[in-house]
Amino acid sequence: MANITKFKERFTECLKYSGVKQSRLAAAANVTKQFITDYKYGRSVPSTDTLCLICKFSGVSADYLLGLSDYK
């Protein structure tokens, strides 16, 4: 549960500071905007493939988003 909370916090932070619209990220990650909303509110977590696409698009590491590292 702590990992989901950490992901939610860091994912939301990345969205906020990047200025990227959820719809644009959804298109880049090949998911619906609803999936991005669910990630943002901790209702679900992305698959490994989607996580990789989110990381590439947002310029942060998966370790950072998952709370395994404090380095982006």
- pLDDT tens digits for range 4-30: 889 999 999 999 988 889 999 999 999
pLDDT higher than 80, residue 2: no
Nearest to 59 by CA among 28, 14, 19, 24: 14
Q: pTM for the complete prediction?
A: 0.86
- Tell me the per-residue pLDDT of 18-69, one tens digit each, with 9 for 90 and over: 888 999 999 999 999 999 999 999 999 899 999 999 999 889 999 999 999 9
Tokens of 49: 């493939």
Q: How would you class 54 by CB atoms within 10 Å of its CB: exposed for 0-12, middle for 13-18, buried for 19 or more? A: buried
pLDDT higher than 60, residue 1: no
The DSSP string of 17-32 is HH---HHHHHHHHTS-
In whole numbers, what is the pLDDT of the chain averaged over residues?
A: 91
